[in-house]
Amino acid sequence: MTRRVVITGLGIISPVGHSPEQFFGNLLAGCSGIKRLQNDFVDQLSIRIGAPVEDFNPSDHFSKIQLTGIERFSQFALVAAEQAVQDAQLALDESEQQRAGVYMGSCLGGASTLEDGYVEIFKRDNPRIKPLSVLLSMNNAAASHLSIKYRLQGPNITYATACSSSAIAIGEAYRQIKHGYADVMLAGGSEAMLTLGAMKAWEALRTLAHEDPDDAAASCKPFSKNRSGLVLGEGAAVLVLESAERAIRRGAKIYGELAGYDCSSDSSHITKPDAAGQTRTILNALRDAQLRPQDIHYVNAHGTATLAGDIEETKAIKQVFGDHAHSIPVSSTKSMHGHLMGATGAVEFMAAVLALQHQAIPPTINLLQPDPECDLDYVPNQGRTGVHIDAAMSNSFAFGGSNAVLIAKRFVA
């Protein structure tokens, strides 16, 4: 049994927007959410830039009692999911709730709660920590809150595969519907790791971008000769997926069809990306979508702005698309919203879906000195409108060699 899967609802809380419309409008305009952080611990960092979610007041969405049991990353997920459910006008009766589930991605879950607990025990010698620390910090907290709020009684799984976590969550949710195990899924990712411990860990790994001396917002420079690394961000993105038959029957708005997905492992190195593994994943996703390489009109790249990563992804795109590689627009929106780790695949797939809907392509900003080894059309610095997009691809290539590719296309009944 195979069924077509469509996207009927979108919701997002990100460094560049608190709604899908604001998010995509700012991306298209080349607005950066990257800045010098104002956290109280920033003086303890060598690299002090990030992509925070600003103007987010939890008390606007949750009561004081609720907030005692809902961590920041779960707050993001709940607000993004509420947007998506309202956008889809999703209403499930009791029998439908039994065939609806939630798949989410997150790398660190409740990072703030974990760090607060460590501070109390190891720094302040306080044996008492928050009674709900486990429930606040566990990676599956966000998905569990969504399942409870919407009475989703089908599968409830959280994926932690580094940068590909939420792309895999969306892809596996798609398979649940495609093969008849569920009719509706909430799928996406959430992350809130702009904490002292997480940032110090990434700082130690020497993969974070140096702050641009002229403009902190320009610090992330994917595919540029002078790129220096990634910028950490936070936020959440959630999509409503459902069978095409169900969506048509209820007259739902359809953003597009989730037509192709694959995940695979490089099985070669825990941090070094591998063009061969990426190529294999893209080809398998195209095969799943029953599309040829030339049918893809936009690629939202993983594009982290690391020295090796951008080159290997460029090689993979060339290997897959051949002569078409230089004519297909490829952009890295991480140049604006930063790297949201466990949420980044969902955020970037949403950017691809909105590009499909608006027939417009967001740019790769800060691309002023192209790397000779990165010689594709990266849509430098200015977005494009009035383009033709029938199918868009989103790449997610993670530490651990965990690769995921998602393909959305126009829905034709």
Tell me the β-bridge partners of 380: 364
The structure tokens listed for 385 are 């409108």
Tell me the β-bridge partners of 300: 331, 394
The residues, any chain, with a CB within 8 Å of residue 403's CB and separated by 6 or more, are 164, 263, 264, 265, 266, 277, 278, 280, 281, 396, 397
Q: Are 151 and 97 in contact (CB under 8 A)?
A: yes
Given the residues 107, 163, 220, 263, select the one marked as catalytic: 163
Tell me the β-bridge partners of 262: 405
Of the candidates 297, 306, 320, 277, the one whose C-alpha atom is nearest the C-alpha of residue 371 is 306
Q: What is the DSSP string of 28-58?
A: HTT----EE---TTGGG-S--EEB---S--G
C-alpha to C-alpha distances, 251 to 54, 89, 95, 150, 244, nearest whole angstrom: 35, 10, 20, 21, 10
Could you give the CA distance from residue 239 to residue 34 in angstroms, rounded to a whole number? 24
Q: Is 403 helix (H, G, I), strand (E, B) or coil?
A: strand
Could you give the CA distance from residue 40 to residue 396 in angstroms, rounded to a whole number? 32
The number of angstroms, rounded, from the C-alpha of 230 to the middle of its chain's C-alpha atoms is: 15
The number of angstroms, rounded, from the C-alpha of 291 to the middle of its chain's C-alpha atoms is: 23
The structure tokens listed for 105 are 């991605």
- Tokens 């190529």 sit on residue: 279
H helices present in 158-195, as ranges:
165-178
Tell me the β-bridge partners of 239: 10, 187
- Tokens 């960092």 sit on residue: 45
Tell me the β-bridge partners of 190: 236
Could you give the CA distance from residue 299 to residue 391 in angstroms, rounded to a whole number? 9
Is 163 part of the annotated catalytic residue set?
yes
Q: Is 220 helix (H, G, I), strand (E, B) or coil?
A: coil
The residues assigned a catalytic role are 163
